[in-house]
Amino acid sequence: LLLLVVFGLSKLIPRGAVPSLKASPTPLPSVAAAQEGTSNLYTHPDFGFSVTLPNNWQAQPQPVSGVANHLAFIDFLSQDKSVATIEVKDLPVDAVIATFRSEVGQTKNLRIVFEREVRLGNDYAKQLTVADSTAKTETQFRFLSQTGKTFIISGADTGFLDSFTFAAPTPKPAR
């Protein structure tokens, strides 16, 4: 798992985003996108969050089966390049942040340069800004605890990060 995260951080942060997870294929949630002027609204059907995407972005859910404590991973692409991600983990937010700090600390070209609390709707999230000295980029990672899960919203576009909101999850039909 540490190798997966370190590889992902080194691979994606230079491009201004977070890593895509590679795991065995599983069914992916459907994308609900509604045209709203110059943007699209992406809503995750199982975890009840929404983000507003620029028109040239598209959501691409990634499989996470076999990756410990990962419940969902959505990669957001612009012109086939990853520009932002949202991860959902089944771990307490403090544990996720501690592991993240450790992984960044073990990567020689990455360092946390800024830390603060940010408001997301009615909630607060911890934001860590990571600088990549090789690529000369900064990526913001927001860690939010909600419904017993940790959501990690990351990217360089603060408009995308600020658009993250929770809605009621879509109820699943009884089987």
Q: Where is pLDDT greater, at 54 or 109?
A: 109
Poorest-pLDDT segment among 21-25, 47-51, 58-62, 126-130? 21-25
pLDDT in tens, 84-115: 999 999 999 999 999 999 999 999 999 999 99
- CA separation for the pair 126, 75 (Å, rounded): 21
Give the pLDDT of residue 25.
32
Phi, psi for residue 112 in degrees, rounded to 5: -80, 120
70-89 mean pLDDT: 93
Question: Which pLDDT belongs to residue 121?
Answer: 76
Strand boundaries in the chain, DSSP class E: 32-36, 39-43, 49-54, 57-62, 70-78, 81-89, 110-120, 123-132, 137-146, 149-155, 165-166
Whole-number percent of the chain with pLDDT over 90: 46
Pairing of strands 137-146, 110-120: unpaired
Task: Decide if pLDDT at 127 tops 50.
Answer: yes
- Tell me the average pLDDT across 63-91: 92
Instruction: Give the type of residue at 36.
Output: E
What's the chain's average pLDDT?
77
More confident residue, 34 or 97: 97
How far is the C-alpha of 10 from the C-alpha of 147, rounded, in Å? 30
* Contact between residue 55 and residue 38 where contact means Cβ atoms under 8 Å apart: yes
Per-residue pLDDT at 136 exceeds 60: yes
Quote the distance between the C-alpha of residue 104 and its chain's center. 16
pLDDT of residue 167: 63
How far is the C-alpha of 33 from the C-alpha of 74, rounded, in Å? Answer: 14
Instruction: Find the largest Cα–Cα distance for the chain.
Output: 52
